[in-house]
Each structure stands twice: as structure tokens, then as C-alpha cells.
Amino acid sequence: MAKVTFKTDLCKGCSLCVGACPKGIVKLSETKLNAKGHHPAEVTEPEKCIGCAFCATMCPDCVITVER
């Protein structure tokens, strides 16, 4: 069981985490905007997360915290 949390307001929508996720479950939100006006990254199917922290490793802005 793994859990990723996003500090959404820090996200700049660069999508580097999207390309890094081996399970393909990190996506940019199509409906939400954050305070900066970016579409923030989010996890679409949290139950599939393996807690590898690849997304957090690629994130330039320390948006993501990973627990496992």
C-alpha cells in the first residue's frame, strides 16, 4: 500500500512526473486549476500506486510526498 500526496499549489504543470510514472497513473488534471493557473498533477487510480517515488524524483518543485 502506497500513498502519494501533491502540494497542488506548488505544481507548475510541467508533466515530468507524468512521463516518469511506470504505472501511467499520474496525469495532469483536466478539470482543476491551482492558484498559479496551472493544471496540477494528480493520481488517477491511487490503488495502483507502488510507491516507487519516480514521480517525486523527477519533480523539480518538490510537490510530491510519497509514503509506503
Partner 1 sequence: MSVVFEKPKSLTDAVLHYCPGCTHGIIHRLVAEVIDELGIEGETIGVAPVGCAVMAYNYFTCDFVQAAHGRAPAVATGVKRSDPSKIVFTYQGDGDLAAIGTAETVHSAARRENITVIFVNNAIYGMTGGQMAPTTLPGQVTQTSPYGRDVETVGYPVKVCELLSNVDGAAYVERVAVNNVKNIKNAKKAIKKAFQNQIEGKGFSLVEVVSTCPTNWGMTPEKALEWVDEKMLPYYPLGVYKDIYAEEEAK
Q: Which of 8, 16, 27, 28 binds partner 1 (CB under 8 A)?
A: 16
Distance CA 3, CA 48 (A): 10
Question: Do the Cβ atoms of 28 and 40 come closer than 8 Å?
Answer: yes
Binding segment for partner 1 (CB under 8 A), chosen from 17-25, 26-34, 42-50, is: 17-25
Distance CA 36, CA 4 (A): 21
Q: Which of 8, 10, 27, 28 binds partner 1 (CB under 8 A)?
A: 10
User: Which residues form the interface with partner 1 (CB under 8 A)?
Assistant: 1-3, 10, 12-16, 18-20, 38, 51, 53-54, 56-62, 64-68
